Structure 1
Amino acid sequence: MPDAPIRRALVIKLRHHGDVLLTGPVFSTLAAAHPGIEVDALVYHDTRDMLTLHPHVAQVHTIGRNWRELGWLAQARAYLGLYRTLKARDYDLIVHLTDHWHGARFTRLLKPRLSVAPQSRKNGKRAQKLWQRSFGALYPLVGGNRRHTVDLHLDALRRIGIRPDETTTALHFVPGEDAEHTIAGKLAQAGVNGRYLLIHPTSRWLFKAWPVARMAALIDALTERGDTVVLSAAPSPNEMAWVAELTSQLARPVANLSGQLSLKELGALIAGARALVGVDSVPMHLAAAVQTPVVALFGPSGEIEWGPWRVPQRVIATPYTCRPCGQNGCGGSGISDCLVAITPERVLMALDELLAETGR
């Protein structure tokens, strides 16, 4: 670490929504280590709401995922505009949390006093050397489902002498008043006037989802005993089709807000729930960020690396020796036997234990 104080830092995370949300403790740890620091974020445009309103994020800068599809002139203008904006911020520190080349290019161009990035997995000696020369320090990535993603992010700070502690490693997500007001209206319109359980059964990758019939059996057990259930899902055609099949199998109708919510609204909906039941997906991380108890089903992905972070929880998985495999179902079938083996009775028992434990 340099002796001079760090006035302004840029944290770069060009990945999906959940990955971006899990960078939050990096901002909080920097803010605690250097009082008065301004910490900016550089993320893909569609993931920006994971960090906007975060108490320790000063500004959120974005790159469009479609910039590479633009003509060369439009692409050059977009990157030049972003470069000028970042250059004007005059960063002392850049923390790059992936091996994306955008981070290496901007670090070389912006020339901060200090920079850190993960060790590269790029192929070829030339690429390896260029990556190494782009940063002042590199930190190792511990793979194999042995370390949580939040801790992997914080390793970047540990590498440069900044130590996180229990007060700086919580997740934060702020839905905002507009989102909270919208959700209150949507719930009232759906006839939900009291406490509810939120089921978010899908993921961007559907091979992580529990079989429809098993999820239907769980929901029927909940509604039969009088619990109010609300459904949510992303608006993608695949997820909406999955939810349509689910609702067609239910014995009793439930409030269904699938495909109707922004990220901020989804966060507000989760914050108001007694608990969330879902799979390894963004809502699970949002639940951790707003401290809503969560029951999470894990199959092909690893719960050590991606499980709910520091929130009352029950993680349900089966002891298959092949998991976590990260594959699109067994044999590429899209169906994961390790998820099929989880029974509705087991999930219901875990949920009831969690509700009793948290008094929800």
Structure 2
Amino acid sequence: MATLQPSPMFTPKSILLIKLRHHGDMLLTTPVIRALRQQYPQASIDVLLYKETRPMLQAHPDIRHIHFIDRNWKKEGAWQHIKHEVALVNAVRQRHYDLVINLADQWRSAIITAFSGAKMRIGFDYRKRQNAIWRLAHTHRVSTERHRELHTVEQNLVALTPLNIPLEGYSASMHYAETDGQTTQALLAELQPSAKPYIVIQPTSRWLFKCWEDDKMAALIDSLASDEWDIVLTAAPDKKELTMIDNILSLCQNRRAISLAGKLTLPQLAALIDHAKLFIGVDSAPMHMAAALNTPCIALFGPTKLKQWRPWGENNRVIWAGDYAPLPSPDSIDTKTETRYLSAIPLEDVVNAARNYLDE
């Protein structure tokens, strides 16, 4: 593993951060962006990500430019796909980065890092990448030996070790444009003429095994129904998620719950969550958004890696199904299963946790 240290005079003027994962993963890179901004206040910071995750960072004030990879390029045929990839590498090279930090584990990210032309190129020393090409792509490689013990935010921050940047004390952040807030408030006003405080509940995930039972979610809504606040349900514009929301609403005795399911972009959802009295949701990107926005958050977890994916911050409460019944290993889960592993979580415990926040 590389042990070279940067010169004490090394002050990058232009930095590229690479992460090629899902929406929640992108939000959990923001502590690294915060750390880089504090260490190098005059530097330009760019990001390379998957196109569909761009909404998570597009309004971030510390990001100058976002490069993206469109996973639909491969549908355009081999020649067009190659042209897109070459154009991306050229666009990266034209920025003349001094520092590239590759938080990804894909070969594609290593190739882009290698061809960036950056003087300093940091990557992780993954066990599955112990070969000459990965070593040549990165001038500095950081150990992953402790990754299982660390939250994803902490894993990302460890990549800054060669820069001698402090690795603690950085919160995550979610940003949205003023127009996103205006659009969200306008949509909410159409359904909520009273303009009361509200609770946001996101019952859905793209993976069903991360979800609580519909009848318990409906009972939660009924238990929290009050003249003091409204309840707003949200979900992605996915057919299965929207069907789940419809079923939950049909099971509710209280018919006053408001549904914005499938009606909001991610930045608009952030604006909604930012002004909520409380957020309740499962392990999902919106849960990470609530934590980053410092909105009081109750996160329901099943057989996912709790240590790595719990909400990052202090204003939250995790309710883990593993505290009530045995759970399978996260690595053994078939993500296509329809088993609801959160079923062991009692309704009363979620209701009580919510009331503790609402009574503060």
TM-score, scaled relative to structure 1:
0.91
> Equivalents in 1 of 2:239, 2:105: separation in Å?
31
Counterpart AA for 1:78 = H
Please name the residue that 1:9 is paired with: 15
> Equivalents in 2 of 1:144, 1:114: separation in Å?
23
**Residue segments in structure 2 that go unaligned for 5+ positions in a row:** 1-5
Counterpart AA for 1:172 = S
Please name the residue that 1:22 is paired with: 28
Please name the residue that 2:157 is paired with: 154
Please name the residue that 1:104 is paired with: 110
Say what the alpha-carbon RMSD is for the aligned residues: 2.0
> Equivalents in 2 of 1:32, 1:224: separation in Å?
44
Superposed, which structure 2 residues align to 1:1-360 within 5 Å? 1-2=6-7, 3-122=9-128, 128-142=131-145, 146-166=149-169, 169-191=170-192, 193-223=195-225, 227-253=229-255, 254-317=257-320, 318-319=322-323, 320-322=325-327, 325-328=330-333, 333-337=337-341, 339-356=342-359, 359=360
Please name the residue that 2:3 is paired with: none
What SS class does the counterpart of residue 183 from structure 1 fall into? helix
Q: Note the C-alpha offset of 1:259.
A: 0.6
What SS class does the counterpart of residue 56 from structure 1 fall into? coil
> Equivalents in 2 of 1:57, 1:37: separation in Å?
10
> Equivalents in 2 of 1:4, 1:109: separation in Å?
20
Counterpart AA for 1:74 = Q
> Equivalents in 1 of 2:103, 2:328: separation in Å?
26
Moved over 3 A (4+): 142-145, 224-227, 320-324, 326-330
Q: Note the C-alpha offset of 1:130.
A: 1.6
Counterpart AA for 1:25 = P
Q: Note the C-alpha offset of 1:96.
A: 0.7
Q: Note the C-alpha offset of 1:251.
A: 0.8
* 1:111-155 alpha-carbon deviations (Å, 9 max, x no partner): 2111111123437x6xx3321221112223357752110000000
The count of aligned residue pairs is 350
What SS class does the counterpart of residue 16 from structure 2 fall into? strand
What SS class does the counterpart of residue 122 from structure 1 fall into? helix
Counterpart AA for 2:338 = G
> Equivalents in 2 of 1:111, 1:133: separation in Å?
12
- Identical columns (%): 34
Q: Note the C-alpha offset of 1:335.
A: 1.6
Q: Note the C-alpha offset of 1:333.
A: 4.6
Q: Note the C-alpha offset of 1:271.
A: 0.5
> Equivalents in 2 of 1:227, 1:145: separation in Å?
40
What SS class does the counterpart of residue 10 from structure 1 fall into? strand
Q: Note the C-alpha offset of 1:225.
A: 6.8
What SS class does the counterpart of residue 62 from structure 1 fall into? strand
Q: Note the C-alpha offset of 1:244.
A: 1.5
1:137–1:160: 8 Å Cα contact kept in structure 2? Answer: no
* 1:167-207 alpha-carbon deviations (Å, 9 max, x no partner): xx111111111110011111111125110000001112121
> Equivalents in 2 of 1:274, 1:232: separation in Å?
15
Counterpart AA for 1:235 = P
